[in-house]
Amino acid sequence: MVKLNPGEAIFLFAETPHAYLQGVALEVMANSDNVLRAGLTPKYIDIPELVANVKFEAKPANQLLTQPVKQGAELDFPIPVDDFAFSLHDLSDKETTISQQSAAILFCVEGDATLWKGSQQLQLKTG
């Protein structure tokens, strides 16, 4: 069992069984990942398919936890795949430029923010 504290992240390769027992987490999956469930949910459960596709391999938690790298106001969580990236940006009242090379999903976890791209404007609020 691994307990994650606020601000910590863990990376699991596809075919790795996992479950959340309590708390709130953000799970990011590669576009091609499928979900096979074995319980703890009212959603469809397919235990034989799950058992046929998972890799039951124990690993120490320190091999799974990502070590974030701080660069200015950005906290980058390096992951060993090219499918996606994950980072936190600590924004202030001062205008900040953030370079984005592909599609992005944004979550405002505290406060609010206004984003601009050209003449487009987007207001983000907590949640």
Q: Is 113 a catalytic residue?
A: no
SS3 for the chain is CCCCCCCCCECCCCCCCCCCCCCCCCCCCCCCCCCCCCCCCCCCCCHHHHHHHCCCCCCCHHHHECCCEEECCEEEECCCCCCCCEEEECCCCCCCCCCCCCCCCCCCCCCEEEEEECCEEEEEECC
Select which of 10, 37, 88, 113 is catalytic: 37
Catalytic residue annotation = 37
